[in-house]
């Protein structure tokens, strides 16, 4: 029997709340009318489990002088040192964290507290496929071992300008290609909820680091679900912004038309504040949008948690195809409970069908592989990165790439090269583009009649290490929930919504909320209310919950 809603640890630490009166449903629970009408939520007292914004707490503490940025940095660094040997979230840890923290303290000491940026003193993990000027940036690939870019990615530049401190570079599947982070050329990252499981991928290091409170927030990248699936696996909040919302300048391209830099954090508010800091048009990325970036922070302040039905009348479409066979029953149960919770908040939840949904996965793998085969051509050993000694040009190319790239990357380059070859282009690339258009249209239709769409973030909870290693097709199938969103270029927020039994204290499940293009604000508002009113779930992994330095 599954304990879908709560981890055993949460059970032991916090009083169980009554929302668990909903019994786990069988796999066929497709009709929402099966659910009994839910009792109003007792939201008056925010329960201890609701995550508070670390960013806002840090800012308040710094301004009040109750803690210094250096003390904060030291506490995160000491936890990092403690947990990192088991987790391996980071490929590189910065040696200038304390120096940056000291600069913030100096500023405060000089009375410049008012001028502190919104991310002052916030420890940020940066996925290693995002360029940083003062640290190696490898993309998780041996071909870029020890490569140091001469510039910061725009997202990194912006977060630094706002006071954020980059803790280090987080592990990932090589160039973002994978769903377990086992595809890293350097190390395997563990899931803080169960060290024998993967953190998901490809932003596994970023999710694991945030989950284990090695940093406050982190940057990930999401081409087919690489922020959202690891957020789900690690029990953190993950946001994939609208394509073009965040500049891709400095993100090592995997599939340029799908790649988005995303945010991970332990609360929706943190993710929203972080997104605001890194968003906006960038003259160095022609695909970055000129859409105005709303101030998400004021949004969280204005949300009234005391209202009994704060989301009254909000139309939510549950994507029917995401609860088909192939989705773990525990995940389905958690999602069904989340649906119930949303109804309790006043949402009107209806099932919607996206007829082209199942076509997304093959279309995605063709398009992403095609673009990656081109994007990875620059890693040729001529100008930078790994170069094998050769006395002939073709051997230089072949040997450098053969020894620099890992097997998954090679496979995708081969697939993509094939799909773009003369005579196959129409059958593969062109058809996949047509499917993409269909998917975009079907999302548009669904979002015309719904405020948001919801689905699981992944069909299962975190895999055991090695489980998918020799079964790429099954790993690819795990991306079914997320790839369609990238093809449509829409924003999606993953919020932890429950647990499935497993590991020492249960394994988290994430709920994916999909919005219309550039409607991140709506997703963040709903996500925040959902998270703040979710009862009895505390998404702090055992690794940290046991650590007395946390909170």
Partner 1 sequence: MASTLFRNVIQAQPLFLNSSALLRKMNGVLYCTMKSTSHSHTQTATEERQQQQQQKSPQKIKVPPQKQMNEVSRIGADYEAVIGIETHVQLSTLTKAFCSCPYSYGAQPNTCICPVCMGLPGALPVLNSKVIECAVKLALALNCRLSFSSKFDRKQYFYPDLPKGYQISQFDIPIATGGSIDLDLPLEFGGGHRRFGITRIHMEEDAGKLMHSGNGSYSQVDLNRAGVPLLEIVSEPDMRTGIEASEYAAELQRVVRYLGVSNGNMQEGSLRCDVNVSIRPIGQPEFGTKVEIKNLNSFSSINRAIDFEISRQVNLHSQGQQDSIVQETRLWEEGAQKTVTMRKKEGLADYRYFPEPDLPEVVLTKDYVDSVGKSLPELPEAKRRRYEEMGLSMQDVLFLANDIAVADFFDATIQKGADVKLAANWIMGDIAAYLKNEKLSIIDIKLVPHELAELIASIKSGTISGKIGKEILFELLAKGGTVKGLIEEKDLVQITDLGDIEKMVDKVIAENPKQLEQYRSGKTKLQGYFAGQVMKASKGKANPGILNKLLVEKLNAKV
Q: What residues are labeled active site?
A: 127, 202, 226
- For the CB of residue 480, give the shortest distance to partner 1 in the complex, in Å: 23
CB burial class (10 A; 0-12, 13-18, 19+) of residue 283? Answer: exposed
- For the CB of residue 420, give the shortest distance to partner 1 in the complex, in Å: 4
The Cα 401–Cα 106 span in angstroms is 47
CB burial class (10 A; 0-12, 13-18, 19+) of residue 23? Answer: exposed
First to last CA, the chain: 33
Beta carbons within 8 Å of 46's beta carbon, 6+ residues apart:
305, 532
Residue 144 is encoded by which pair of tokens? Answer: 């870029």
Q: Is residue 245 close enough to count as binding partner 1 by CB under 8 A?
A: no
Among 90, 193, 249, 364, binds partner 1 (CB under 8 A): 249
Among 131, 210, 311, 487, binds partner 1 (CB under 8 A): 131
- For the CB of residue 300, give the shortest distance to partner 1 in the complex, in Å: 31
- For the CB of residue 414, give the shortest distance to partner 1 in the complex, in Å: 13
Q: Is residue 374 close enough to count as binding partner 1 by CB under 8 A?
A: yes
Which CB, 57 or 388, lies closer to partner 1? Answer: 388
E strand residue ranges, 366-491? 452-456
Residue 320 is encoded by which pair of tokens? Answer: 């029917």
Among 417, 438, 501, 547, binds partner 1 (CB under 8 A): 417
Length of the chain: 551
Among 86, 146, 350, 377, binds partner 1 (CB under 8 A): 377
Closest to 128 measured CA to CA, from 95, 163, 173: 173
- For the CB of residue 277, give the shortest distance to partner 1 in the complex, in Å: 18
Among 145, 380, 399, 501, binds partner 1 (CB under 8 A): 380
Answer whether 164's CB lies under 8 Å from 119's CB: yes
Which CB, 483 or 523, lies closer to partner 1? Answer: 483
- The span of 43-51, 69-77, 162-170, 419-427 binding partner 1 (CB under 8 A) equals 419-427
- The span of 71-79, 330-338, 390-398, 505-513 binding partner 1 (CB under 8 A) equals 390-398
- For the CB of residue 543, give the shortest distance to partner 1 in the complex, in Å: 32
Strand 237-240: give its sheet, edge to edge. 90-93, 165-170, 123-127, 217-222, 260-265, 237-240, 492-500, 507-514, 452-456, 315-319, 348-352
* Per-residue DSSP letter, 280: S
The Cα 55–Cα 236 span in angstroms is 15
Coil, strand or helix: which one is 456?
strand
Q: Is residue 382 close enough to count as binding partner 1 by CB under 8 A?
A: yes
- For the CB of residue 164, give the shortest distance to partner 1 in the complex, in Å: 19
Which CB, 168 or 244, lies closer to partner 1? Answer: 244
Q: Is residue 371 close enough to count as binding partner 1 by CB under 8 A?
A: yes
Among 307, 425, 549, 550, binds partner 1 (CB under 8 A): 425
Which CB, 107 or 158, lies closer to partner 1? Answer: 158
Q: Is residue 387 close enough to count as binding partner 1 by CB under 8 A?
A: yes
Mapping DSSP onto H, E and C, the string for 466-507 reads CCCCCCHHHHHHCCCCCHHHHHHCCCEEEEEEEEECCCCCCE
- Checking 291-294 for CB contacts under 8 A at 24+ apart, the result is 291/242, 291/244, 291/245, 291/518, 293/245, 294/520, 294/521
- The span of 96-104, 187-195, 336-344, 376-384 binding partner 1 (CB under 8 A) equals 376-384
- The span of 100-108, 128-136, 210-218, 312-320 binding partner 1 (CB under 8 A) equals 128-136
Which CB, 16 or 427, lies closer to partner 1? Answer: 427
The Cα 78–Cα 176 span in angstroms is 28
The Cα 41–Cα 309 span in angstroms is 9
Q: Is residue 394 close enough to count as binding partner 1 by CB under 8 A?
A: yes
Interacting residues toward partner 1 by CB under 8 A: 130-131, 133, 137, 139, 144, 147, 149-151, 153, 248-253, 255-257, 283-287, 370-371, 373-374, 376-380, 382-384, 387, 389-394, 396-397, 417, 420-422, 425, 429
């Amino acid at each position: 029997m599954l304990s879908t809603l709560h981890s055993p640890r949460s059970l032991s630490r916090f009083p169980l709340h009554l929302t668990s009166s909903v019994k786990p449903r069988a796999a066929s629970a497709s009709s929402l009318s099966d659910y009994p009408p839910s009792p109003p939520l007792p939201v008056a007292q925010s329960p201890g489990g609701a995550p508070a914004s670390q960013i806002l707490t840090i800012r308040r503490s710094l301004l009040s002088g109750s803690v210094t940025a250096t003390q904060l940095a030291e506490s995160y660094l000491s936890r990092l040192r403690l947990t990192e040997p088991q987790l391996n979230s980071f490929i590189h840890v910065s040696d200038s964290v304390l120096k940056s923290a000291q600069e913030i303290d100096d500023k405060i000491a000089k009375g410049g507290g008012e001028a502190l940026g919104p991310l002052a003193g916030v420890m940020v993990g940066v996925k290693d496929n995002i360029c940083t000027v003062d640290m190696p940036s490898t993309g998780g690939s041996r071909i870029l071992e020890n490569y140091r870019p001469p510039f910061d990615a725009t997202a990194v530049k912006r977060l630094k300008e706002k006071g954020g401190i980059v803790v280090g570079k987080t592990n990932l599947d090589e160039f973002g290609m994978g769903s377990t982070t086992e595809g890293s050329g350097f190390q395997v990252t563990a899931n803080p909820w169960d060290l024998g499981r993967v953190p998901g991928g490809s932003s596994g290091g970023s999710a694991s680091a945030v989950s284990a409170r090695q940093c406050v927030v982190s940057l990930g990248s999401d081409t087919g679900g690489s922020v959202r699936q690891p957020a789900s696996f690690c029990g953190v909040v993950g946001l994939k912004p609208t394509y073009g919302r965040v500049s891709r300048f400095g993100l090592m391209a995997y599939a340029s038309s799908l790649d988005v830099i995303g945010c991970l954090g332990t609360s929706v508010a943190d993710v929203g504040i972080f997104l605001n800091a890194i968003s906006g048009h960038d003259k160095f990325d022609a695909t970055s949008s000129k859409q105005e970036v709303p101030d998400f922070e004021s949004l969280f302040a204005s949300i009234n948690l005391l209202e009994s039905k704060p989301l009254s009348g909000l139309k939510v479409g549950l994507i029917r195809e995401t609860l088909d066979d192939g989705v773990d029953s525990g995940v389905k149960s958690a999602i069904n409970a989340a649906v119930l919770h949303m109804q309790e908040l006043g949402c009107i939840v209806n099932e919607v069908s996206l007829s082209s949904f199942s076509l997304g996965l093959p279309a995605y793998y063709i398009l992403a592989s095609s673009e990656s085969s081109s994007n990875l051509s620059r890693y040729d050993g001529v100008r930078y990165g790994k170069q094998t000694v050769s006395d002939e040009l073709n051997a230089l190319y072949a040997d450098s790439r053969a020894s620099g790239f890992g097997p998954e990357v090679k496979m995708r380059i081969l697939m993509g090269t094939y799909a773009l070859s003369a005579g196959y282009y129409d059958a593969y690339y062109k058809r996949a583009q047509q499917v993409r258009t269909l998917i975009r249209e079907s999302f548009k239709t669904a979002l015309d009649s719904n405020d948001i769409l919801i689905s699981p973030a992944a069909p299962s909870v975190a895999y055991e290490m090695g489980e998918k290693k020799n079964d790429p097709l099954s790993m690819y199938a795990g991306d079914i929930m997320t790839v369609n969103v990238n093809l449509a270029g829409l924003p999606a927020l993953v919020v932890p919504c429950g647990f499935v039994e497993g590991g020492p204290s249960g394994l988290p499940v994430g709920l994916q909320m999909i919005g219309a293009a550039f409607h991140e604000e709506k997703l963040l508002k709903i996500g925040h209310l959902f998270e703040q009113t979710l009862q009895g779930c505390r998404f702090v992994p055992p690794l940290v919950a046991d650590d007395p330095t946390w909170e």
